[in-house]
Structure 1
Amino acid sequence: MFNTKTLAEVMEEVCLKYKDREALVFPKKKETYTFTRLIEESNAYAKGLLALGVKKGDHMAILALNSPEWVILELAAARIGAVLVCLNTASTKSELFYVLKQSECSLIFLTKGFKDISFLDNLTELCPMLNICEPGKLQSAELPCLKTVVLMDDSELKGAYNLNEVKELGKSIGKSYFIEAGRKVTAKEPLNIFYTSGTTGNPKGVVLSHFAAVNNALVSGERMEYDEDDRILLCLPLFHVIGFILSTFAGLFFGASIVVEERFETKKALSLITKENCTVFNGVPSMFQFMLSSDLSGHDLSSLSKGFIAGACCSNELMGRIIEELGIGTIANLYGQTEAIGITQISSYDEAEYRLHSIGRPLPGVEIKVIDIASGEEVSIGEKGELLVKSTYIMSGYYRNQEATDRTLDQEGWLHTGDLVSVNSEGFIYIEGRIKDIIIRGGENISPAEIENVLKRHEGIFDAAVISVPDELLGEEICAFVISAAGYISNAEEIREYASHHLARFKIPKYIKFVKEFPVTSSGKIKKAVLREQIKNEFAQVLNREPAVMVKL
């Protein structure tokens, strides 16, 4: 039933099948990659990596917006058994440092950056030797594993290669050596590391194998009914599994064309659907909200027929509007976690009632059970409890974090999702709430503990507690309860400015509430449930409150 080939092997078969059909379309640069060109380019870069000394099991990071090169480099790494570490483009310098060090990356691909976020400046500030060293010979006391930097655009840096140089170096690699390198890679070995926030603060590196990624993409793509006539608009970031595995490769495996957009921008997305005759749009709820809030009269969206919503719960009202106003008749709720990729998904043949209200049934290869939070016993049909998952596509573990792995996967191999669900007699699952403390803002998982740790380092803050508050557009927003340090008068702008140097933008609290004390348990733990209840009544009137009581950032 399951495919036992590596990602590179599966894609080689796909490319031989579809040959001159469009695989990747990049409107920004007016570039098109056929399936034949896609495999040729990825093999050329794989040889270049071998020439740079990259070996099976080596970790390589990538920090860039979506592009064809991103996909090609993934295939190149997969071909020789290197592990691609996918970095969030919103990462600050301190976040970049943590992930590069924790993941033990020896090589990083990156672009200059976008808007006012400079990937290159952040990296050179961490590794000043890049300004004077020779390419491939970086020596950094702070990042001892990192040796090689490759620029993916027209940026220049003395201590870095560019992509063309990597391809040129690859010409020295013989065919037999290249083939032998590929033969050593097996499907059970690591393909990627994706970093995800957790309740303990620091992000955790989720290790996914070729087997998990390939097979999850196949079953998800089959349930989405992707085919060679589909054109999928990719606005979801490739550094997330929903963009990388469940959109890009799930589509490519079935011969679909991927229209690559660097990042989601409402007007561009609507324009590309029209110009490129896109049939599929996958997104998080906020993306659909932004599109529906725009003037749709100037856009021909008649080509759209299917798509999925992932990353956060979607309201019944939003689902209805997507069908009626965007014309996406086959819209699928998709539920998953980085640790298990896609877990449940609606099918096109499911009744409208289920497609509108549930997150579908488990994908093939996924087993579920629902347990009572207090007793741990399995609940009856229709009763609420925590969703546990045992999956063929489960992670290999958190990289260099066995303690966190053991907390997430129990001794029987069940993944504790932290989500409260109910299941009906036909096996359809309904989200009822969330046990975990994680905030999901616009599809991004955000750790309150991570934000709290940053805020508490500010000299004017004695203590901080972060919770979620409802948001119509993004699903949830971040609210920080702050106790000011003795003799210090904190203000929201100062806190915001401080946080911006240590946290990605989407992690900065939108709301800050100054309080004198927190409700605590007998053991001194903050009762966040009480904080949520306190804010519940206030939040409806928050915009009418004085800034001293509730500050909107």
Structure 2
Amino acid sequence: MLITKTLAEITDEICQKYGDREALVFPGKQETYTFSQMVEMSNACAKGLLGLGVKKGDHMAILALNSPEWVILELAAAKIGAVLVCINTASTKSELSFVLKQSESSLFFLTKGFKDVSFLDNLTEICPELLTCEPGNLKSDTLPCLKTVVLLDDTALKGAFHFKDVEECGKTLGEAALMEAGRKVTAKDPLNIFYTSGTTGNPKGVVLDHYATVNNALVSGERMEYDEDDRVLLCLPLFHVIGFVLSTFAGLFRGASIVIAERFETKKALSLIMDESCTVFNGVPSMFQFMLNTDLSQYDLSSLSKGFIAGACCSNELMRRIVEELGIETIANLYGQTEAIGITQISSSDDMEYRLHSIGRALPGVEVKVVDLASGEETAIGEKGELLVKSAYIMSGYYHNQEATNNAIDREGWLRTGDLVTINGEGFIHIEGRIKDIIIRGGENISPAEIENVLKHYQGIFDAAVIAVPDELLGEEICAFIIPASGHMLSGEEVREYAALHLAKFKIPKYIKFVKEFPITSSGKIKKAVLREQVKDEFAQIVHREIAAAINR
């Protein structure tokens, strides 16, 4: 049964229930906050936002690594009906400028950055007025909506407040002001805007309301079987729904403690699992790969028992090693999109065969269907087609982009995922590829995912990624990037011989490239555009030679 409570309402109830139990643990600064402290801090922050003049519907952006302050800001915004705009920490200066302007954010919370990435330098280059203006009085030609900047760390900037100043702004306000603001917020009001990282064009702002976020976190947490004895290691970024909704709030709603890592670092994550007795680790395939490629003998990981894999399906070899070497016996595949949060998920009670090869069944509140690409008609059981989703968790739309919204969601409310799938009689769904990734070789449509899934079954292959490369004769040819399994030496011919046992001849990769790792996005997806760029010159030369040979024949 789905509920109609706001994020603030459900969180207040949870905090009252779990009181003095640990809610947020931040080993990086040796900070721990109980559920009671979390709600007290969010109330103080919410009053501070009111003191700064924030009103229901105002947009406030955040650019930072994971921290307790992020969670507190989310709850504070939710209490007064403000909308938190979540910005990817990998954003370039131009992307940051676009998102801040397109989202019409009037407040911006940020840290100085990390490593060689300076959030602050990017911002002051976009808004040099911050170097001379008074805090809260920014007047920028580039970002006309942005008025207030707040620093979340000890960085100094003349035109910005510090986070502690926000709470000071609310100290003259009583509880009545906060309660009055809260009464105006409903479950169908917008809660967040998450910007998708498309491969072409500007990112699109996905608007999610309280109802979608709260209920998706509840049903996902239930299927993951989180409980109050769990300690969830949060390495997934809070600017993605897999870290924000499906890890943090899915855990908190069931009384789990969230152990916050600023970002994923292999050895630090392993140390945190050991030192904090974490029971849950959620990640993308590359995170698990990095952990398994480390000497695990120096880490006690016996506390681990639960976790999910999101972003991409992983190989049998990787799944086996997660179970055997990390001890996560109930590891689950989770499938979702920013536009619909969690869509399908494996359950711990599902057969291992499904846990290995399937993305699970639809979550409660989700309808799915598979349609033929040509006709748009629903396919028969087991036939390949595009996955369409209708659910309680689908976005309100793309912010200020009705055309894109209409292209993504039809008049009956079905979201086009762009994923090719099959579904069996029991409702288990198998990913067959992305529509836009289809390779057209000599007129044949070939799914890279089909080839990848075959290759990943081979014991000598740790992971595989397949792309199209240009070919003079056939238009496109197949190139497979392979990460060999630990201790295995492979040849291209060996890979092709294995592929020939399971694939039609025209689907066997012509080119094999062995690599140590793949370039990935922050959500764990392989950057196939980067792979194509890496071999662009090589295959341009091949095509040139083929053309020259054809002329000389």
Match of 2:510 in 1: 537
- Give the 5 Å matches for 1:313-462: 313-437=313-437
* Conservation of the 8 A alpha-carbon contact between 1:230 and 1:257: yes
The amino acid that maps onto 1:347 is S
- Give the secondary structure class of the aligned counterpart of 2:307: strand
* Superposition TM-score, scaled by structure 1 size: 0.83
Give me the whole-angstrom Cα distance separating, in 2, the residues matched to 1:14 and 1:546: 52
Give me the whole-angstrom Cα distance separating, in 2, the residues matched to 1:421 and 1:410: 19
The amino acid that maps onto 1:236 is L
* Conservation of the 8 A alpha-carbon contact between 2:317 and 2:462: no
- Give the secondary structure class of the aligned counterpart of 2:426: coil
Give me the whole-angstrom Cα distance separating, in 2, the residues matched to 1:66 and 1:294: 24
Residue 548 of structure 1 and its aligned partner are, at CA, apart by: 5.9
Match of 2:99 in 1: 99
The amino acid that maps onto 1:540 is K
Query: Where has structure 1 moved over 4 Å in runs of 4 or more?
Result: 467-479, 531-536, 545-548
The amino acid that maps onto 1:28 is G
Residue 301 of structure 1 and its aligned partner are, at CA, apart by: 0.6
1:311 aligns with 2:311: yes
* Superposition TM-score, scaled by structure 2 size: 0.83
Residue 424 of structure 1 and its aligned partner are, at CA, apart by: 1.1
1:203 aligns with 2:203: yes
1:156 aligns with 2:160: no
Match of 1:507 in 2: none
1:79 aligns with 2:79: yes
Note the alpha carbon deviations across 1:420-476, whole angstroms, 9 max, x for none: 1111111111111111359xxxxxxxxxxxxxxxxxxxxxxxxxxxx9997977865
Residues 477 and 249 (structure 1), Cα distance of their counterparts in 2 relative to 1, 3 Å cut: farther
- Give the secondary structure class of the aligned counterpart of 1:387: strand
Match of 2:13 in 1: 13
* Conservation of the 8 A alpha-carbon contact between 2:109 and 2:150: yes
Match of 1:280 in 2: 280
The amino acid that maps onto 2:100 is L
Give me the whole-angstrom Cα distance separating, in 2, the residues matched to 1:42 and 1:238: 17
Give me the whole-angstrom Cα distance separating, in 2, the residues matched to 1:430 and 1:477: 18
Match of 1:506 in 2: none
- Give the secondary structure class of the aligned counterpart of 2:247: helix
Residue 377 of structure 1 and its aligned partner are, at CA, apart by: 1.2
| Alignment RMSD (CA, Å) | 2.6
The amino acid that maps onto 1:74 is E
The amino acid that maps onto 2:538 is V
- Give the secondary structure class of the aligned counterpart of 2:264: coil
- Give the secondary structure class of the aligned counterpart of 1:530: strand
1:39 aligns with 2:46: no
* Conservation of the 8 A alpha-carbon contact between 1:286 and 1:474: no
The amino acid that maps onto 1:346 is I
Match of 1:486 in 2: none
* Conservation of the 8 A alpha-carbon contact between 2:409 and 2:415: yes
- Give the secondary structure class of the aligned counterpart of 1:46: helix
- Give the secondary structure class of the aligned counterpart of 2:23: strand
Give me the whole-angstrom Cα distance separating, in 2, the residues matched to 1:174 and 1:198: 44
Give me the whole-angstrom Cα distance separating, in 1, the residues matched to 2:227 and 2:187: 25
- Give the secondary structure class of the aligned counterpart of 2:510: helix
Residue 138 of structure 1 and its aligned partner are, at CA, apart by: 0.2
Residue 375 of structure 1 and its aligned partner are, at CA, apart by: 1.3
Give me the whole-angstrom Cα distance separating, in 2, the residues matched to 1:546 and 1:166: 50
The amino acid that maps onto 1:58 is D
Residues 386 and 304 (structure 1), Cα distance of their counterparts in 2 relative to 1, 3 Å cut: same
- Give the secondary structure class of the aligned counterpart of 1:206: strand
Residues 155 and 229 (structure 1), Cα distance of their counterparts in 2 relative to 1, 3 Å cut: same
- Give the secondary structure class of the aligned counterpart of 1:194: strand
Match of 2:543 in 1: none
Give me the whole-angstrom Cα distance separating, in 1, the residues matched to 2:215 and 2:134: 41
* Structure 2: gaps spanning 5 or more residues: 439-447, 482-508, 517-533, 541-553
Residue 173 of structure 1 and its aligned partner are, at CA, apart by: 1.5
* Conservation of the 8 A alpha-carbon contact between 2:479 and 2:513: no
Give me the whole-angstrom Cα distance separating, in 2, the residues matched to 1:534 and 1:29: 43
Residues 329 and 125 (structure 1), Cα distance of their counterparts in 2 relative to 1, 3 Å cut: same
* Conservation of the 8 A alpha-carbon contact between 2:466 and 2:478: no
1:549 aligns with 2:549: no
Give me the whole-angstrom Cα distance separating, in 2, the residues matched to 1:254 and 1:422: 33
Note the alpha carbon deviations across 1:510-540, whole angstroms, 9 max, x for none: xxxxx8xx989xxxxxx9x826569952343
Aligned length: 480
Give me the whole-angstrom Cα distance separating, in 1, the residues matched to 2:514 and 2:111: 43
- Give the 5 Å matches for 1:227-306: 227-306=227-306
Residue 477 of structure 1 and its aligned partner are, at CA, apart by: 9.1
Residues 317 and 542 (structure 1), Cα distance of their counterparts in 2 relative to 1, 3 Å cut: closer
* Conservation of the 8 A alpha-carbon contact between 1:286 and 1:473: no
- Give the secondary structure class of the aligned counterpart of 1:155: coil
Match of 1:56 in 2: 56
Matched residues, percent identical?
73
- Give the secondary structure class of the aligned counterpart of 2:511: helix
Give me the whole-angstrom Cα distance separating, in 2, the residues matched to 1:159 and 1:549: 50
Residues 233 and 100 (structure 1), Cα distance of their counterparts in 2 relative to 1, 3 Å cut: same
